[in-house]
Amino acid sequence: MELTALKGIGEKTGELFHKLGISNVEELLQFFPRDYELFTPPVTIGEIGFRTFATIRGTFTQSLFQRRIKKMTITTAQFKDDVGGQIRVCYFNAPFMKDAITPGELYILKGRVSRKRGILQIDQPKIYKPLDYADLLGTMQPIYPLTKGLSNAAITKAVRQAFATDCFAKLDEEDILPEKVKTRYGLCRKSEAVRNLHFPGSEQAFSTAAMRMSFEEIFLFILAMKKNESAFQTKSSILIHPDPRTNALLDALPYDLTDAQKRVIGEVANDMQSGKVMSRLIQGDVGSGKTIVALTALMNAAYAGYQGALMAPTEVLAKQHFETIETLFREHDVGLHAALLTGSMTALEKKVIYDALEDGRIDILIGTHALFQEKVNYKNLGLVITDEQHRFGIRQREAISLKGNEPHMIVMSATPIPRTLALILYGNMDVSVIDELPKQRRPIKNAVVDTSYREKIYRFIEKEVAAGHQAYIICPLVEYSDGVEAVNVTDYTDMLRDMLPEDISIGMLHGQMPAAKKNEIMQRFSEGEIKVLVSTTVVEVGVDVPNATVMVIEDANRFGLAALHQLRGRVGRGADQSYCIFVSDNNSKEAMERLQILKTSNDGFEIASKDLSIRGPGEFMGVRQSGVLSFKNFDLYRDAQIAQKAQEAVDQILTGQITLRESEKEKLDNATTILKGGILL
């Protein structure tokens, strides 16, 4: 059903929806909020503490006062609560607010809290009459991803209209989850789940709906994976034996490999000479030495007369891998030729690579998805390695296989997934774990603090930059969003430019930037031009910047422990002491105890296991785990128990313990076929 069938959506508005990936009503119904505005009871001004967002009840003690500073109109007034606490209210470029309030009348304010020279201030608050707020109390109002020109209210209105269409009425009829599965695992109807994800009647209703949609997504993923499993495990492949020249390079390195690296190198070597197609996942913390393990496999393949390909998720990371390998080959006189291929290269540069690859002059090709475009032809592809497994899907995997004669495959991931979960998500792969860090790595020093320490943090960053180092600051949001109590990159960058000296260059990075802009920012940070990088979690899969010694994570209480550990791995890459500071605006005993786990441990697998035990399937609020697979609803750490139940359901279907109607079988077959191009295996 076309979006323009909905009232108020014409051709121009439809184009704005299309920018968000919504081209019809069916897609609109599946376009779920990215967050929710919670309407909680007001607190007294004295209870605000170090919160960055608050709801307060009281009266304006005076009319709003207006003044102009340059081109900006600033409207301010004092606000007093029921017990005498006072706070300054401030609006920017909103002169109409002066006539919108009556001094002495009771209001409820909801907005961001800041501290200006020791004075508590609430900025741009929404104003409610007490009775109006009472109607909203306890509800969860949706906050959707937006694009310029399209408001949250417009999307909300469109979704409410979509509930009255045939598309919504058919959700249960077209539901792909079998009835026996829904009954056995207590899953609600599809229509109920969709309605309560958009407009939850309560947190319990939201939790039930979110669990239902997460179950569906991981259930289909596991089913599709199981159907492809046997094909990859039984195919014959080329024989590649370890070469003495590879061992000679390892012996010449200025450091010793860890026992874990040696063990995994042996596991890969055994696979490559087994006669079967290798399909192996190599897990290891950031900095555990996965790249040198990958390089040994690539060299063995090249010495055996086959080409190898190493695919990275970003151009900056691909370039860094290439420079590392090229330097090693040059310093140790390795007689192999490595080359780099990325999408941003000119047509002529690409043509030179294509020709050299096709006639066999390139032994190892490093790059991004460009490695497997239609024009790229390998002479004798024998090994493919993808860095960061979750970035590549089944369709890409099949495209890779077609470029060679059943090449061996390795995927590498720095995401610390406990083995029990890895076997569910990567059941069609053998799993290797590099569970040691090189001895030369200095442990990162960790601190867990509340927001009152920010001033000290900025002075510490100044000191580190003066010593020639760099810093990351991570924020959960790209920009301010009404009702979301979290720090955002846009405002934080502006604020930091006032807090730090002018000679300290500050950069901003987030996922909404064009790919070329993101690459440019990361390149400038990598080269030391940018000293402090304010970013969202997009740096989680980044480049090595050995000069970066400080990682500050704002609103750390909103992230999963495993995600925090992953982010922390961006520092500690060089010889200098590195530091990670977790800042939380929630100073409750439970929140602080949870973050203390990171303070006392640098072991990603231990942290991931604790994360699983802490975050139950009902805990659906907060910042989504970033970077782990490409799911819309399922979250690896939050939904670990759901994954186990979904695998159980899949196994029962495949073994006949759960019998399906023919119509249900047909729906599942169609759904898993479509998933090959989207959800990743």
Asked if 395 and 484 sit in the same domain, the reply is no
pLDDT of residue 303: 96
Asked if 255 and 289 sit in the same domain, the reply is yes
Asked if 407 and 491 sit in the same domain, the reply is no
pLDDT of residue 388: 65
CA atoms within 13 A on the CB side of 126: 15
- What residues pair up with 74 in beta bridges, in sequence order? 67, 92
- Domain residues for 78? 40-137
Asked if 300 and 368 sit in the same domain, the reply is yes
Q: Identify whether the C-beta of residue 298 lies closer than 8 Å to the C-beta of residue 407.
A: no
Asked if 478 and 412 sit in the same domain, the reply is no
Q: Is residue 31 part of a domain?
A: no
pLDDT of residue 602: 77
Query: What's the CATH code of the domain at 355?
Result: 3.40.50.300
Q: Per-residue DSSP letters for 326-367?
A: HHHHHHTT----EEEE-TTS-HHHHHHHHHHHHTT--SEEEE
Nearest to 108 by CA among 131, 91, 90, 85: 131
pLDDT in tens, 584-618: 876 667 777 788 888 888 777 777 777 666 654 33
Please state the length of the chain: 681
Rounded Cα gap, residues 655 and 52, in angstroms: 53
Q: Per-residue DSSP letters for 26-38?
A: HHHHT---SEEEE
Query: What's the CATH code of the domain at 45?
Result: 2.40.50.140
Asked if 238 and 282 sit in the same domain, the reply is yes
Q: Which residues of the chain have pLDDT under 70?
A: 50-52, 116-117, 228-235, 388-401, 418-420, 427-428, 479-486, 540-543, 586-588, 611-631, 636-637, 673-681
Asked if 264 and 324 sit in the same domain, the reply is yes
Three-state helix/strand/coil letters over 392-420: CCHHHHHHHHHCCCCCEEEEEECCCCCHH
Q: Is residue 519 part of a domain?
A: yes
Helix, coil or strand: residue 501 = coil
Asked if 277 and 417 sit in the same domain, the reply is yes
CA atoms within 13 A on the CB side of 423: 5
Q: Is residue 300 part of a domain?
A: yes
Last residue of a domain, one of 601, 635, 667: 601
What token pair was written down for 679?
């959800």
Domains of the chain: total: 3
Asked if 334 and 353 sit in the same domain, the reply is yes
pLDDT in tens, 58-77: 999 988 888 887 777 888 89
Q: Is residue 220 part of a domain?
A: no
pLDDT of residue 356: 95
For β-strands 445-450 and 548-553, DSSP reports them as unpaired
CA atoms within 13 A on the CB side of 495: 16
Cβ–Cβ contacts within 10 Å for residue 198, how many? 22
Q: Identify whether the C-beta of residue 341 lies closer than 8 Å to the C-beta of residue 365.
A: yes
Asked if 383 and 449 sit in the same domain, the reply is no
Last residue of a domain, one of 137, 169, 204: 137
Asked if 251 and 398 sit in the same domain, the reply is yes
